[in-house]
Amino acid sequence: MNQKWTRAICTVLTSALVFTGPAVEGITFSGYINSGLEKVYAKTKKQKDAEKKKSQAEQDLKDKKNEINGLKDQQQITADDIKNKSAKLDEILAAQKKLQTDITSKQAEIEQNQKDLAAAQEKQQEQYDAMKKRIQFMYENSAEDNIWTAIIESNGITDMLNRIEYVSDVYDSDRALMDSYQAAVEQVKEIGTKLDKDMNELTAMQDDYEKQQADVEAAIVALENQKEQYASQIAQAQQQADNYQNIITAQGKIIQEQEAAAAAAAAAQAAAARANSSSSSSSYDGGGAGKGGSIAGDYAAGGGKNPGASTGVSGSSVVSYAMQFVGHPYVWGGNSLTNGVDCSGFVHEVYAHFGISTPRYSQAFKSVGQAVSFDNIQPGDVVVYPGHVAIYAGGGVIVEAQSTKAGITANRSVQCHTILAIRRLV
| pLDDT score recorded for residue 301 | 63
Q: Is 265 helix (H, G, I), strand (E, B) or coil?
A: helix
| pLDDT score recorded for residue 25 | 33
| pLDDT score recorded for residue 236 | 95
* Residue 148 neighbours by CB distance under 10 Å: 12
| pLDDT score recorded for residue 165 | 64
Alpha carbon distances (Å) from 16 to 88, 264, 277, 284 = 85, 19, 11, 22
Q: Is 214 helix (H, G, I), strand (E, B) or coil?
A: helix
In angstroms, rounded to a whole number, what is the distance separating the alpha carbons of residues 54 and 381?
Answer: 26
In angstroms and rounded to an integer, the radius of gyration of the C-alpha atoms of the chain is 56
Q: Give CA angle at 285 (374, 338), nearest 5°.
A: 90
Asked whether the beta carbons of 213 and 92 are under 8 A apart, the reply is yes
Residue spans of the chain under pLDDT 70: 1-42, 135-171, 174, 263-293, 297, 301-302
Among 221, 240, 232, residue whose Cα is nearest residue 75: 232
Q: Are strands 407-413 and 370-371 parallel, antiparallel or unpaired?
A: unpaired
Average pLDDT, the chain: 80
Asked whether the beta carbons of 68 and 203 are under 8 A apart, the reply is no
pTM summary value: 0.46
In angstroms, rounded to a whole number, what is the distance separating the alpha carbons of residues 90 and 145?
Answer: 77
Among 359, 352, 341, 314, residue whose Cα is nearest residue 409: 341
DSSP letters spanning 79-120 = HHHHHHHHHHHHHHHHHHHHHHHHHHHHHHHHHHHHHHHHHH
Alpha carbon distances (Å) from 92 to 40, 86, 220, 271, 389 = 75, 10, 14, 86, 79
In angstroms, rounded to a whole number, what is the distance separating the alpha carbons of residues 306 and 295?
Answer: 16
Residues β-bridged to residue 389: 384
Alpha carbon distances (Å) from 201 to 91, 190, 191, 198, 204 = 20, 17, 15, 5, 5
